[in-house]
Amino acid sequence: MVVTSRVTATIQVDLHGSTSVAQTEFKDAVQAYANSLAAESQKQELSLRRPGAIHIEVSYNAVRRAREAINRHGERAKMKPFDMACTGGAPILSGSAGVMGSFLHSPLQIVVFGILSALAIATTFLSIRGGR
C-alpha cells in the first residue's frame, strides 16, 4: 500500500522591481526546487530505511539531509547510457583481460587479450570523464 500526500505551502516573497515574466519565472523556479527537494527526500528516506521496512515515511531527518545534499551538490545528474555502459564495462573488461592474460598460448588469444586490455583502459578513462 503506497500512501501519497500533497503538501501545500504558501510562500510570500517581495521581488521589488520585477516584471510579470520575472515573477512567473521565479514561481516556476521555486516550484522546481520544491519538486527536487521532494524527490531527494524520498531518496534519502530510502537510504535511511531499515532493511525489511515496508512503509515509506519521509522523516524530518530525510528532508534535512535532502536539503543539504541539494544545496551542497545541486541536483543529481542522470547518467547517459554510454556513461553507464563505460562505468559497468570497465571492471568487467578489466577482469576479462586479467583472466585472458593467463591463457596466452596462441596468437588469437594474444589478440583477444590486447583488445580486451585496450577496451578496459578506454572504458576506465571514459567512465572517469563521464562524471564531468
Residues 85 and 125 in one domain: yes
Q: How many domains does the chain have?
A: 2
For 79, residues 6+ apart whose C-beta sits below 8 A from its C-beta are 87, 130
Residues 26 and 68 in one domain: yes
Residues 62 and 98 in one domain: no
Using one digit for the tens of pLDDT, what is the confidence trace for 110-121?
A: 999 999 999 999
Q: Is residue 48 part of a domain?
A: yes
What is the structure's pLDDT at 126? 87
Residues 28 and 67 in one domain: yes
86: domain range?
Answer: 81-130
pLDDT < 50 regions, the chain: 1
Residues 90 and 68 in one domain: no
Using one digit for the tens of pLDDT, what is the confidence trace for 13-36?
A: 888 888 989 989 998 998 888 888
The answer to whether 62 touches 44, Cβ cutoff 8 Å, is: yes
* pTM confidence score: 0.52
What is the structure's pLDDT at 1? 45
Q: What does the angle CA 54 – CA 59 – CA 63 come to, to the nearest 5 degrees?
A: 125
Residues 88 and 108 in one domain: yes
Residues 51 and 85 in one domain: no
The residue written with cell numbers 572517469 in the block is 128
Q: Is residue 36 part of a domain?
A: yes
